[in-house]
């Protein structure tokens, strides 16, 4: 049941209607709806989801009622969650690696089916167990906890939600608020446009280039790489927008997951803007437990590299994902070294995060130029790293990178022509440029929330739906479904 299909729209409308018509049955109804949504992909997945939910809930209660064994329960929870994730996601990878090395007793095929959303709901279950161990209150209601783990808008691809963010909302009486509902519809339609108009349009070019890494000239290869950068952002942020929009329509607020990441001026800033809920999860449950920045600069650097490398492996069982994470870890170290090297110098003054307009006029041009170059350099690095994220293997990735600098070649027009692709790239750029100022967003939120503009909102929604219908490219599933 893809978010970008009419089936999901009808399903969501039914869920929303019953949710507000029978508010006293909201939690059981949403649990049922969430399981129907998840089981529609494959009924076999239900056993796994129930096991992860029931196991982590019982462990949370055990830490409350048997506090002397709290360490035992949290270790059991961590081992069970990581073991579950490791078996379904990495067992085949381990066997393939052993087979390629010629180790005795290894087999190239295990036949494991990767359940949808396993990386996300196991992370939520794991964070709950660890938070209860650290002193957070355990969830007493099995239905509320089951809904926290299985809440269908964010079940398959996030955002990764903590129990203290969602469970209190589930247990609190939620009254219907027209402004919240309207902003939810706005977010949902915004996500639909991002997915079917932009992301799927970019996919036509990126699939063409990455499908034949050495078969195109430099111009087409560069266009394919940039289109993949646009595709993965529009695709993943679209899922988040739809999830958050559906959540608001049901009366609940999910955390923000993206904040115009291609405006970042450094790799560190990129990870404060990209997949924000994963970044904070890695920080709180991996980087800090490893020691964080408390054990000297050398240990801090090592912890950063380990965290980012494991973050890459979380995305997929492949050495290309490991290298992608390692590249970002090394980039964080290089950026940190640059910050330490330029501390107290005029360069640090140019790189400050204060608004450009706050700078004295003589420095204004230099500050703007420096920050523009920093943004461009960060974007180029991110695109370079995306090659390893997207390519199926190292040979394909290296072949494609080689094509970037060979010159020549023609631009091949996908179905619909290159004109629509360029328009999509311009739309992506304009969106980010508007994000340089908070004023457009504030005006839009004020517009959405005022009832006086209801007819205008309806017009905008109608235009969004028309754009999805008229400008949509070849439909495809969301990229992060595979993780």
Q: Which residues are catalytic?
A: 315
Can you tell me the distance from the alpha carbon of 274 to that of 315, in angstroms, rounded to the nearest whole number? Answer: 14
CB 147 within 8 A of CB 34: yes
Q: Would you give the DSSP letter of residue 255?
A: P
3-class secondary-structure state, position 476: coil
CB 377 within 8 A of CB 262: no
Neighbours of 74 (CB within 10 A): 21
Burial class (CB within 10 angstroms; exposed 0-12, middle 13-18, buried 19+) of 9: middle
Residue 208's contacts (CB-CB under 8 Å, 6 or more residues apart) are 216, 224, 412, 414
Show the beta-strand stretches assigned E in 163-283.
none
- Nearest of 333, 363, 362, 361 to residue 348 by alpha carbon: 363
CA 342 to each of CA 294, 346, 401: distance values in angstroms, whole numbers, following the listed order: 23, 8, 31
**Alpha-carbon torsion (449, 453, 457, 460), positive or negative:** negative
**Alpha-carbon torsion (263, 269, 271, 272), positive or negative:** negative
Estimate the share of the chain in helix, then strand, then coil, as percent rounded to the nearest 5: 75, 0, 25
Neighbours of 318 (CB within 10 A): 19
């Amino acid at each position: 049941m893809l978010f970008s299909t009419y089936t999901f729209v009808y399903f969501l409308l039914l869920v929303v209607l019953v949710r507000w018509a029978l508010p006293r049955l909201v939690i059981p109804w949403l649990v049922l709806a969430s399981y129907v949504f998840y089981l529609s992909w494959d009924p076999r997945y239900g056993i796994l989801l129930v096991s992860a939910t029931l196991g982590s809930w019982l462990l949370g209660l055990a830490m409350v009622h048997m506090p002397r064994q709290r360490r035992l329960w949290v270790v059991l929870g961590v081992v069970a969650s990581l073991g579950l994730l490791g078996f379904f996601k990495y067992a085949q990878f381990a066997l393939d690696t052993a087979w390629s090395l010629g180790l005795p007793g290894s087999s190239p095929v295990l036949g494991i089916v990767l359940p949808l959303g396993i990386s996300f709901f196991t992370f939520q279950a794991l964070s709950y167990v660890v938070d209860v161990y650290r002193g957070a209150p355990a969830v007493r209601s099995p239905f509320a906890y089951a809904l926290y783990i299985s809440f269908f808008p964010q079940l398959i691809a996030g955002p990764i939600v903590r129990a203290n963010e969602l469970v209190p909302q589930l247990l609190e009486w939620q009254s219907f608020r027209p402004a919240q509902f309207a902003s939810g519809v706005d977010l949902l339609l915004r996500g639909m446009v991002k997915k079917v108009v932009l992301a799927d349009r970019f996919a036509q070019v990126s699939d063409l280039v990455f499908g034949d890494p050495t078969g195109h000239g430099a111009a087409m290869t560069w266009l394919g790489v940039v289109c993949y950068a646009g595709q993965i952002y529009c695709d993943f942020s679209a899922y988040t927008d739809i999830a958050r929009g559906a959540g608001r329509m049901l009366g609940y607020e999910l955390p923000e997951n993206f904040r115009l990441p291609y405006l970042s001026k450094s790799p560190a800033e990129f990870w404060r803007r990209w997949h924000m809920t994963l970044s904070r999860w890695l920080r709180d449950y991996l980087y800090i437990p490893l020691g964080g920045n408390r054990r000297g600069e050398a240990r801090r650097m090592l912890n950063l590299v380990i965290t980012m490398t494991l973050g890459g492996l979380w995305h997929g069982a492949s050495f290309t994902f490991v290298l992608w994470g390692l590249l970002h870890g090394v980039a964080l170290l290089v950026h940190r070294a640059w910050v330490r090297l330029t501390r107290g110098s005029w360069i640090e003054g140019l790189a400050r995060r204060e608004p450009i307009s706050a700078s004295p006029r003589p420095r204004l041009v230099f500050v703007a130029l420096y920050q523009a170059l920093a943004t461009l350099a960060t974007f180029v690095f991110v695109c370079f790293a995306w090659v390893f994220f997207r390519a199926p293997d190292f040979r394909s990735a290296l072949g494609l990178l080689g094509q970037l600098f060979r010159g020549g070649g023609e631009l091949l027009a996908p179905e619909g022509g290159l004109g629509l692709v360029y328009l999509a790239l311009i739309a992506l750029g304009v969106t980010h440029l508007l994000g340089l100022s908070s004023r457009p967003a504030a005006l839009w939120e004020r517009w959405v929330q005022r009832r006086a503009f209801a007819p205008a909102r309806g017009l905008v929604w109608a235009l969004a739906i028309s754009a999805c219908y008229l400008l949509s490219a070849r439909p495809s599933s969301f990229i992060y479904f595979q993780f």
